Amino acid sequence: MSDLTSVKSALRAQRIEIPSWAFGNTGTRFKVFGQLGVPRSVHEKVLDAAQVHRYTGVTPSVAVHIPWDRTDDYAALGAFAAAEGIAIGTVNANVFQDDDYRLGSVANPDARVRRKALDHLLECVDIMDATGSRDLKLWFADGTNYPGQDDIRARQDRLADALRTVYDRLGTGQRMLLEYKLFEPSFYTTDVPDWGTSLLHCTALGPRAVVVVDTGHHAPGTNIEFIVAVLLRAGRLGGFDFNSRFYADDDLMVGAADPFQLFRILREVVAAGALTGQGVSFMLDQCHNIEPKIPAQIRSVMNVQEAAAKALVVDTAALANAQHEGNVLGAHAVLMDAYNTDVRPLLAEVREEMGLDPDPVAAYAASGYGEKIIAERTAGAPAGWGA
């Protein structure tokens, strides 16, 4: 795809989902630095998420994390979001913050703990029914710290049993997204450490179980775009959790650490015709420990858009030709020409055509919303990681 009209229409149609937890206070195991104006409820997170959509025009849904976003009436939450012009998106389960989960959740050796974790996952599907969410995202902290601590294969069996029960409970049109992560908090084995393990479980379950690629969840040097290409080919790429890493699961802004990697990933997505449409969900999974949160989300969305635009302007005919001729340097040059294109004027034009300010960062700063929430949100407990 390289004619301007189709590039622009793809950029207009691209959708990015932002995470509710990006707006709460976060930090590391060393310190959580509180910020002013932080939401005190899921409703205020929705208001902040709606701001990101107002200035970017491409983030019409916000993912929630249960229990961080627990509320009495999820249908009402969905209606509240709709009134703000956005929807409740992916429901993220959380079976890693309870004392009971010391030895794991659905793979725990204790049947009582497994049942408790399973009940939480099923509750998340109930919430999806109420909010109209399509996707359930599962990430398990399960694993072991020491050789011999538990039986590796038995843990896989327990995991598979739980996934089967949840999969069978999904309603029409609902999907299960199974995320993997190399290590942490478990340091010896992790029960879903890589895309292969995730894919094996998804394949056993059925077509509505798909893999999530969190860009921060790989060993240094991993070729993530290769994984993306393979999963797309198999029809099992459910979506991304975008963020940046320098060392481990850093959760920094997407496109900050390695914009070239983001381009290479999105190049595979564009090549598979999967940038727009319903199949692949483009989510951010980030925390903003020291930078202001709403502007950081806006910046992140723009980083994804810039990488996507570069992926869209690849001269595919010239690339195919060079590849066919075995012209190694020529093919590489075609890709680098696209990567080195300054797509910011193009994106500014697309925004203007969408009735948006060409500079979302400046438009948000000029809106006064940041000052308003600092003045208003003085009482009560700011949202954070705590359940």
Q: How far is the CB of 378 from Mn ion (least distance, A)?
A: 32
CA dist., res. 308 & res. 27, Å (int)? 29
Compare residues 182 and 356 and give the one whose CB is closer to ligand RM4.
182
In 3D, which of 260, 261, 264, 242 has the Cα closest to residue 252? 242
Assign 361 to helix, strand or coil: helix
Compare residues 214 and 225 and give the one whose CB is closer to Mn ion.
214
* One character per residue 4-43, x = contact with ligand RM4 (rule: CB under 6 A): ----------------------------------------
281 lies in the binding site for ligand RM4 (CB under 6 A): no
CA dist., res. 25 & res. 18, Å (int)? 16
Question: Taking CB within 5 to 8 Å according to partner kind, which of Mn ion, ligand RM4, none is near residue 92?
Answer: ligand RM4
135 lies in the binding site for ligand RM4 (CB under 6 A): no
Q: How far is the CB of 181 from ligand RM4 (least distance, A)?
A: 6
Task: Return the residue nearest Mn ion (CB atom).
Answer: 241
Q: How far is the CB of 115 from ligand RM4 (least distance, A)?
A: 22
Q: How far is the CB of 207 from Mn ion (least distance, A)?
A: 22
CA dist., res. 328 & res. 311, Å (int)? 19
Q: How far is the CB of 215 from Mn ion (least distance, A)?
A: 9
User: Per CB under 6 A, which of residues 58..87 are in contact with ligand RM4?
Assistant: 65
Could you report how far apart the first and last alpha carbons of the chain are, in Å? 45
Compare residues 44 and 214 and give the one whose CB is closer to Mn ion.
214
Distances (CA, A) of 177 to 61, 133, 188, 225: 17, 13, 24, 19
Per DSSP, what are the bridge partners of residue 27?
Answer: 32
Q: How far is the CB of 278 from ligand RM4 (least distance, A)?
A: 20
Q: Which residue among 55, 139, 140, 195 contacts ligand RM4 (CB under 6 A)? A: 139
Assigned token pair, 135: 């996707």
Output the CA torsion sign for 144, 150, 151, 154.
Answer: negative
92 lies in the binding site for ligand RM4 (CB under 6 A): yes
CA dist., res. 351 & res. 97, Å (int)? 41
Q: How far is the CB of 211 from ligand RM4 (least distance, A)?
A: 13
285 lies in the binding site for ligand RM4 (CB under 6 A): yes
**Any alpha helices (H) in the chain, and if so which ranges?**
4-13, 42-56, 74-83, 111-131, 152-169, 195-205, 224-233, 259-271, 293-312, 316-324, 328-339, 344-353, 360-367, 369-376
CA dist., res. 277 & res. 28, Å (int)? 36
Compare residues 55 and 68 and give the one whose CB is closer to Mn ion.
68
191 lies in the binding site for ligand RM4 (CB under 6 A): no
CA dist., res. 179 & res. 114, Å (int)? 19
198 lies in the binding site for ligand RM4 (CB under 6 A): no
Amino acid letter for position 248: A
Compare residues 74 and 139 and give the one whose CB is closer to Mn ion.
139
Compare residues 166 and 212 and give the one whose CB is closer to Mn ion.
212
Q: How far is the CB of 186 from ligand RM4 (least distance, A)?
A: 12
Binding residues for Mn ion (CB under 5 A): 214, 241, 285
241 lies in the binding site for ligand RM4 (CB under 6 A): yes
Amino acid letter for position 337: D
Residues that bind ligand RM4 (CB under 6 A): 65, 92, 139, 179, 181, 214, 241, 249, 285
